[in-house]
Amino acid sequence: MSRAPEQITEDGIPYAALDAVAAILRVLAQVAPPGSGAASDLDAWARHVLVLAQAPGADEADPSQRDWHGLSRHVVALVRDDSAAVARSIGELRGAVWSMVEHLSQVVVGDAASDLDARNQLTQLRAAIDGPAEDLRESALATVRRLSQIIEEKHERQLQLASELGRRVTELKAELEDIRREADIDPLTQVGNRGVFQRELPRALQMRCLLDEPACLALVDIDSFKQINDACGHTAGDAALELIAGALVRSFPRRSDIVARLGGDEFAVILPATTAHDGLRLTERFLEVVRTIEIPQTGPDTSLTVSAGVAEALPAEQADAWLARADRALYLAKARGRDCVVIAAEEPERADGPSVGEQPPAATAPLAGDR
């Protein structure tokens, strides 16, 4: 929808500028990952910019104002989320291209041998031209037969190599998918690893902002885990970690819930569309499940309990601040005797430090370890 550059909107924005922004958004939509929903969102933003249609996530359209802040936030989040996928795609492309080079080199070598054979046949035919007619006839027929055979062999070889290349590319794609999945899974507990948690925590905040719905973060730490390792051995400790991970998956079963092991004996659960009250209720139910767990490698006197801190995301809160509040709540649960849940205070970290009884965690430091 092209307009003259001098035409402007009622709020003083040139229509040409709006057309340019909409064109950029539609190009981004064309290259968005299929099935992600990003393409439809970008198309909706383009319509919003051009004709003030309702912006994605807005309750209703505002016929007098364009949501430039919302558009900027959405595009920045999209680019940031796609950066890791782009890096993985480049790695996959490099692997596929190298496999193709490897197989094509075989074609070149094979074709070179065939071409040499064909040149030899033509050389013999040229030599027969000056000889007797009968010899020329026989040589020509032999050359035709051999050249036909060379062409058929080359064609068959190329078909075989093309088939092998296609099979290998398919295998590489499957292997890369397996590697990608394995890279996100903690090998012992079979839940998400710390990398998954670090990727999904900011996304949960983005979805909270976009959908205007609550989100909760629960940090879980096994009580006296070092004592279990020291008294019963690391085999018992590993069994405890696996049992806790299984209990977490059963206690937080929604597809949108993210269960991850942060390291050592500490786990995290990201709960979209969950208030602090519901997060507390679900986590307390999980603690009840843990109290019934028996570790096979230990005696009957060995009990298994956990402590937890729950924090509901605050408006405009960053991921590290959200994590720090949940971690402070976990420290308080430990200080109150363990085997309990504490809800984080609904205010950012104070400049004068925590109150009496609190221990200030470092948001960027490893969270794992016995407490």
Nearest to 201 by CA among 253, 267, 268, 265: 268
SS3 358: coil
> Cβ–Cβ contacts within 10 Å for residue 33, how many?
14
Task: For residue 137, give the amino acid letter.
Answer: R
Ordered DSSP codes for 2-38:
---TT-B-TTS-BHHHHHHHHHHHHHHHHTSPTTSSH
Q: CB under 8 Å to 50, separation ≥6 — which residues?
A: 1, 18, 19, 22
**Strand duo 306-312 + 341-343: pairing:** parallel
SS3 176: helix
User: Residue holding tokens 């990201």?
Assistant: 270
User: Residue holding tokens 């040409």?
Assistant: 16
> Could you say which of 178, 265, 278, 301 is catalytic?
265
Answer yes or no: 265 catalytic: yes
Q: Which two tokens stand for residue 60?
A: 């209703």
Check: CB of residue 260 under 8 Å from CB of residue 191.
Answer: yes
Scored b (16 or more CB within 10 A) or e, 258-283 reads bbbbbebbbbbbbbbbbebeebbebb
For the chain, the straight-line distance linking the first and the last C-alpha, in angstroms and rounded, comes to 63
Active site residues: 265
